[in-house]
Amino acid sequence: MTALNTSARLTRRGFLGAAAASTGLALLPGSALAAQAAGTPGLPDLSGLPGVAPLGNGSGKPLVFGHRGASALRPEHTLAAYARAIADGADYIEPDLVSTRDGVLVARHDAYVNETTDVASRPEFASRKTRKTIDGETHEGWFVDDFTLAELKTLRAIERLPQLRPGSAAYNGMFQIVTFEEIIDFVAAEAAARGRLIGLVPELKSSTYFASVGLPLEDRFLAILAAHDYTRRNPVEIQSFEVSNLKYLRSKLGQRANLRLMQLVVSEPVRPMDVAAAGGTLTYAQMCTPAGLRDIARYADVVAPPTRAIIPLKKDGRLGEATSLVDDAHRAGLRVEPWTFRPENYFLAADFRSEAGPAARHEAGSIAEMRRYIATGIDGFFTDDPALGRAALA
């Protein structure tokens, strides 16, 4: 496998190796989003603006990020998954963002939509089946950038892991793909109804690929942030496995009271996709060293490693001793917010599994495992089941 192909695994799914009403979307000429072709201007300085919300949760405890919503319980990246995450106490919800053929940002984990929609059963789209290599990984099937938003809206979400999550799979076919703007409006309504802050932690997916097909994500994303009062004033943490897009966003956004940038990493000697595409040599393993973390702190506020980079597994599958990553990152001035805790035995360290088999949920074990990581001093964490994350912090 080449370095570029190895970099293909730099997604949370790849590293596992595991089996309110919508709003109108029309944008008037002259609106923030319509102006993206000319480049997005810097957003207004909000640092001293009354009403700009702080980024924390007010408790001093680590933040709970609803990974793709409450994706252990509802099909990921649906309003149902986000609603359940919010009801279960998530401080932030996560929309992974990709682009449609007509340039609309929608929430899907990646461009390949076979695993999370019913597209394969739709004869009207049979001719769209194709083969593409994205982030070094080749898939055959259907891809988000070959569909307009109107076409995607005819599809329905399905559970990615039905064997492990049959309860979530029972909701197959019920929910649409949603846009980033619909998610912002939904979160704003939920926050108002519940009387508490709900942050957004969007991830820009496959930026290098989307730029290569004429659908760059960053200016569209910035325009949406600027167009919505909720994202101008309330907590937003922006994630990416790539480096150049985060640096670009920092140049546009500067330092703002309600925004953080999050560098996603792994502890492997593989390169971010933008670095590989440019012929660079920087690897994630280098980024996770004390010197590499200091470099990240020049453009980002958070480093987000996989959980096992903080406490690795021993040969017997049990948790070992913690690495120095949390302390090293804190010394560099970075927050540490790892991914991802999941409640099924299949994903738990051997210390925390029950005897019920790999597909069984083991809530007590998941809570205990999260507490081991919380004790290392992490500042937040991603979980597929935010209710268990809240219990771990209780």
The pLDDT value given to residue 267: 85
**HSE-up (13 A, CA, CB side) for residue 302:** 25
Rounded Cα distance between 359 and 345, Å, is 6
Using CB atoms within 10 A of its CB, is residue 382 exposed (0-12), middle (13-18) or buried (19+)? Answer: buried
The pLDDT value given to residue 54: 61
Poorest-pLDDT segment among 13-22, 115-124, 161-170, 206-215: 13-22
Rounded Cα distance between 67 and 117, Å, is 18
The pLDDT value given to residue 155: 98
The pLDDT value given to residue 51: 57
CB 106 within 8 A of CB 152: yes
Rounded Cα distance between 229 and 262, Å, is 22
**HSE-up (13 A, CA, CB side) for residue 45:** 4
Q: Which one, of 226, 233, 222, lies nearest residue 197 by Cα?
A: 233
Q: Where are the beta strands (DSSP E) in 249-371?
A: 259-264, 302-304, 335-336
Poorest-pLDDT segment among 55-69, 108-122, 195-209, 293-307: 55-69
Structural domains of the chain, with CATH: 3-17+59-113+178-393 (3.20.20.190)
Q: At what angle do helices 386-393 and 363-374 cross, to 10 degrees?
A: 60
37 against 226, higher pLDDT:
226
Poorest-pLDDT segment among 23-32, 252-261, 314-323, 371-380: 23-32
Q: What is the CA radius of gyration of the chain?
A: 20
Tens of pLDDT, residue by residue over 300-314, are 999 999 999 999 999
Q: How many C-beta neighbours within 10 Å does residue 385 have? A: 28
Segments in 99-243 forming alpha helices (H): 149-152, 166-169, 180-194, 207-212, 218-227, 229-233
Tens of pLDDT, residue by residue over 41-61, are 444 444 444 456 667 666 689
Residue 28 has pLDDT above 60, yes or no: no
